[in-house]
């Protein structure tokens, strides 16, 4: 049976402009880092992508190495694209990245022109796309001259492989340097993708201020701290959760008694707001003026529904923000 998207998908989603660009992204975007690889169930991956689109999530975020195995998330998405979403390509913002280890040898990692261009060509092939909407350099390279990396980003736009470029995991000083180079090349930096959540606040305040000054959007990943800021871990580590999987990035050692105590206190505030803990944690990230979107992960459709429900309550009272600060700093 052919997939037909929900006709009212654009009615309830909120779209925010990315920095000083012309591009708007949904306030909630779907990342395919986990649960879309070759080790995962295709039907569940497909259901999540299609549900996201039905809810107005037009932005799907990938990278060359997402899986496992590396590359398989892009292959999974390529199948969904060919089977269901091809007629809607112009309604989608698809991103990919390169910067982490993808293949053996000196050309399969970091930030050389050789690696970035060949990696993007491979990504396009896996996804069955002619171009990506956004292509990121995934992390700073301490050895390759920044100018070479930025020239490679400029080149992928000029050669038709990408419409926009962004950077990920860059500190404030490198972000400023990269933004200046890209601006001078004529391909401005669209967006920055840092890790940011209640439990990881390294972007405050320097990077966020830099992005605002440079007119660059922000789309943080892991805003739920790999699922820790959800109802899932209120009573420990459940079977089937990200922390219980051998190939997951969230390890049981990360879930300390102190973290769990904070999570339970935060959950009480969320309940008083009429939200789930995840919804409050996403709203807390989105409260910043420079935030374009939050990048969520999901292992089932219901989690995407819950995340989009965040948009029903984005405001915080000064008392609520103060209480949250006391818990996080306690």
In the prediction, which pLDDT does 234 show? 87
Note whether residue 252 is domain-resident. Answer: yes
The domain of 81 spans 15-329
Q: Is the dihedral of CA 121, 125, 130, 133 positive or negative?
A: negative
Percent of the chain scored above 90 by pLDDT?
91
Note whether residue 80 is domain-resident. Answer: yes
DSSP 8-class letter at 84: I
> What H or E segment, with its residue span, contains residue 166?
strand 162-168
Note whether residue 2 is domain-resident. Answer: no
Could you report the per-residue pLDDT of 155-164, keeping only the tens digit for each? 999 999 999 9
Left, alpha or beta for 260 (phi > 0: left; psi -120 to 50: alpha)?
alpha
- For residues 15-39, average pLDDT: 98
In the prediction, which pLDDT does 16 show? 98
Note whether residue 10 is domain-resident. Answer: no
Note whether residue 41 is domain-resident. Answer: yes
Note whether residue 3 is domain-resident. Answer: no
Question: How far is residue 324's CA from residue 268's CA, in Å, rounded to a whole number?
Answer: 11
User: What token pair was written down for 2?
Assistant: 């052919």
Q: Provide the domain count of the chain.
A: 1
Could you report the per-residue pLDDT of 98-114, keeping only the tens digit for each? 999 999 999 999 999 99
In the prediction, which pLDDT does 249 show? 57
* pLDDT above 70: residue 154: yes
Question: How far is residue 70's CA from residue 68's CA, in Å, rounded to a whole number?
Answer: 5
Could you report the per-residue pLDDT of 166-202, keeping only the tens digit for each? 999 999 999 999 999 999 999 999 999 999 999 999 9
pTM confidence score: 0.94
Note whether residue 174 is domain-resident. Answer: yes
User: What token pair was written down for 187?
Assistant: 């391909």
Could you report the per-residue pLDDT of 232-279, keeping only the tens digit for each? 888 777 666 555 555 555 666 678 889 999 999 999 999 999 999 999
Distances (CA, A) of 137 to 108, 146, 169: 13, 11, 9
Q: Which long-range contacts (CB under 8 A, 24 or more apart) does 261-266 make?
A: 262/327, 262/328, 262/330, 263/228, 263/229, 263/233, 263/234, 264/234, 265/327, 266/198, 266/229, 266/324, 266/327
CATH of the domain at 54: 3.20.20.100
In the prediction, which pLDDT does 240 show? 60
* pLDDT above 60: residue 324: yes
Note whether residue 232 is domain-resident. Answer: yes
Which residue bears the tokens 């390529």?
78
Could you report the per-residue pLDDT of 50-94, keeping only the tens digit for each? 999 999 999 999 999 999 999 999 999 999 999 999 999 999 999
* pLDDT above 60: residue 299: yes
By three-state DSSP, how is residue 154 classified? Answer: helix
In the prediction, which pLDDT does 251 show? 60
Distances (CA, A) of 131 to 93, 136, 154, 167, 297: 10, 13, 14, 18, 23
Q: Is the dihedral of CA 237, 240, 244, 248 positive or negative?
A: negative
């Amino acid at each position: 049976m052919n997939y037909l998207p929900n006709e009212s998908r654009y009615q309830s989603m909120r779209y925010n402009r990315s920095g000083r660009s012309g591009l708007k992204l949904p306030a909630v975007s779907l990342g395919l880092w986990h649960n879309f690889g070759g080790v995962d169930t295709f039907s569940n991956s497909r259901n999540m992508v299609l549900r996201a689109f039905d809810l107005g999530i037009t932005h799907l975020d990938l990278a060359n190495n997402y899986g496992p195995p590396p590359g398989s998330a892009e292959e999974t998405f390529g199948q969904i694209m060919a089977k269901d979403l091809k007629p809607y390509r112009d309604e989608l913002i698809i991103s990919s990245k390169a910067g982490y280890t993808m293949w053996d040898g000196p050309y399969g990692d970091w930030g050389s022109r050789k690696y970035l261009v060949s990696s993007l060509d491979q990504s396009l092939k896996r996804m069955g796309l002619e171009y990506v909407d956004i292509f990121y350099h995934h992390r700073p390279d301490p050895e390759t001259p920044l100018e070479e990396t930025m020239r490679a980003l400029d080149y992928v736009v000029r050669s038709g492989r990408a419409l926009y470029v962004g950077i990920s995991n860059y500190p404030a000083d490198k972000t400023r340097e990269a933004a200046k180079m890209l601006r001078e090349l004529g391909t401005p930096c669209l967006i920055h993708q840092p890790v940011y959540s209640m439990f990881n606040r390294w972007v405050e305040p320097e990077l966020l201020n830099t992005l605002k000054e440079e007119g660059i959007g922000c789309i943080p990943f892991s805003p739920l701290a790999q699922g820790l800021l959800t109802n899932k871990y209120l009573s420990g580590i459940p079977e089937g959760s990200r922390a219980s999987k051998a190939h997951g990035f969230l390890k049981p050692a990360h879930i300390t008694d102190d973290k769990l105590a904070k999570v339970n206190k935060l959950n009480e505030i969320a309940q008083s707001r009429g939200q789930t803990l995840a919804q409050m944690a996403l709203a807390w990230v989105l409260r910043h003026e420079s935030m374009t979107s939050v990048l969520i992960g999901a292992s089932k459709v219901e989690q995407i529904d819950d995340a989009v429900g965040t948009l029903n309550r984005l405001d915080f009272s000064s008392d609520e923000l103060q209480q949250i600060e006391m818990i996080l700093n306690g």
